[in-house]
Amino acid sequence: MKKQKAEPYLINSISDLHRLLELPKPEHPLVSVIDLAAVKCFNDDSLASVIYNFYSICIKKNFKGKMKYGQNYYDFDEGVMTFFSPGQVISTELPDANNCVLTGIWLVVHPDFIRNYALSKNISNYGYFSYAVSEALHLSEKEEAMVDGIMANIEQEYRSVIDNYSQDVIVSHIELLLNYSNRFYNRQFITRKNANNDLLVKVETLLADYFDRDDIDERGLPTVHYISEQLHISPNYLSDMLRSLTGQSTQHHIHAKLIDKAKQILVTTSLSVSEIAYRLGFERPQSFNKLFKSKTSQSPLEFRSSFN
């Protein structure tokens, strides 16, 4: 009999998290900075997959050896930072509790804490909250010290006497941390340009192969999710990487390759526009016409006639 996969373990509140980790009650019910050195390791299978109903920003320190990032290994081992938003399923390989040593800092923030602030609406714009676990932010020593300082300020603020400005100050520190993280991710894209260029080549090759297939009419147009799945990275990370290299999103690259293929067919065959549309995976020729004109300022027939 096939073993049923366990449901993710749901952690609803920061108080629940503290109880699970066998830590003292949080000093603030909606925000907490946790020292990972004070957390014991668990090897309970029920915790192999969890869902946090709050934002999680974690920096793991003293990581030794290489870190696998996407499909490659890199040397930024000073600090590894991860970001999760409420409701994400986080799966990990549980370590041996007898040989497990945790070090680092973990900031958890309940959505209610930022509910009445602009950050509540803007936080979804920080794309790294939906990056895959393997797409962590690798910090330099200087960057790690900066993150440490901001998290220490957050902890100091909620441990102090609460007044009318406490929440404003903490939210400001969280925004500062997120903005610095944006900068650090951009640095990461730049310092790993060679690896990312390799990934760009893979994207171009994958799209070229896709549009050369004979069964596109059955498979339909390639999606961003399909491309990222083939490359084993998350859709958001893929688009951010492509923007850092080319200024364009993954969807733009898909459309660009599609239009190149359409131009080739228009010039080298006598297929009708409808036949070309279906051949390229469109369900309706009108959609193909609209996209082609938006990208070239010409209809498919106008483009074909310009070569006759």
For the chain, the three-class secondary structure string (H helix, E strand, C coil) is CCCCCCCCEEECCHHHHHHHCCCCCCCCCCEEEEEHHHCCCCCCHHHCEEEECCEEEEEEECCCCCEEECCEEECCCCEEEEEECCCCEEECCCCCHHHCCCCEEEEEECHHHHCCCHHHHHHHHCHHHHCCCCCCEEECHHHHHHHHHHHHHHHHHHHCCCCCCHHHHHHHHHHHHHHHHHHHHHHHHHHCHHHHHHHHHHHHHHHHHHHCCCCHHHHCCCCHHHHHHHHCCCHHHHHHHHHHHHCCCHHHHHHHHHHHHHHHHHHHCCCCHHHHHHHCCCCCHHHHHHHHHHHHCCCHHHHHHCCC
Q: Give the N- to C-terminal CA distance of the chain in Å, as an integer.
A: 66
Q: Nearest to residue 134, comparing CAs of 184, 66, 52, 183?
A: 66
pLDDT band at 150 (very low <50, low <70, confident <90, very high): very high
pTM over the 0.75 mark: no
pLDDT-wise least confident of 38-42, 56-60, 110-114, 153-157: 38-42
Q: State residue 241's pLDDT score.
A: 80
Q: Using the predicted structure, report yes or no on whether residue 53 has a pLDDT greater than 50.
A: yes
Bridging pattern class, strands 104-109 and 55-61: antiparallel
List CB contacts of 119: < 8 A, sequence separation 6 or more.
171, 174, 175
**For residues 205-232, average pLDDT:** 86
CATH number of 9-190: 2.60.120
pLDDT at 93 over 90: no
Percent of the chain exceeding pLDDT 70 equals 81
Cβ atoms within 10 Å, residue 162: 12
- Band of pLDDT at residue 74, cut at 50, 70 and 90: very low
Considering the segment(s) 194-305 as one domain, its CATH architecture is Orthogonal Bundle (1.10)
Backbone angles phi, psi at 278, to 5 degrees: -65, -35
**Residue of higher predicted confidence among 140 and 130:** 140
Where, residue-wise, is CATH 2.60.120 in the chain? 9-190
Of 112 and 65, the one with more pLDDT: 112
Report pLDDT for 113.
Answer: 95
Provide CATH 1.10.10.60 ranges for the chain. 194-305
Maximum mean pLDDT: which of 46-55, 115-124, 147-156, 195-204: 147-156
Query: What pLDDT sits at residue 190?
Result: 67
294, pLDDT greater than 60: yes
Which range is most confident: 24-33, 81-90, 160-169, 225-234?
Answer: 24-33
15-29 pLDDT per residue, tens:
999 999 899 999 999
Mean pLDDT of the chain: 82
pLDDT (average), residues 50-73: 66
- Is the confidence at residue 2, as pLDDT, over 50? no
Tell me which amino acid residue 153 is.
Answer: N
Percent of the chain with pLDDT over 90: 32
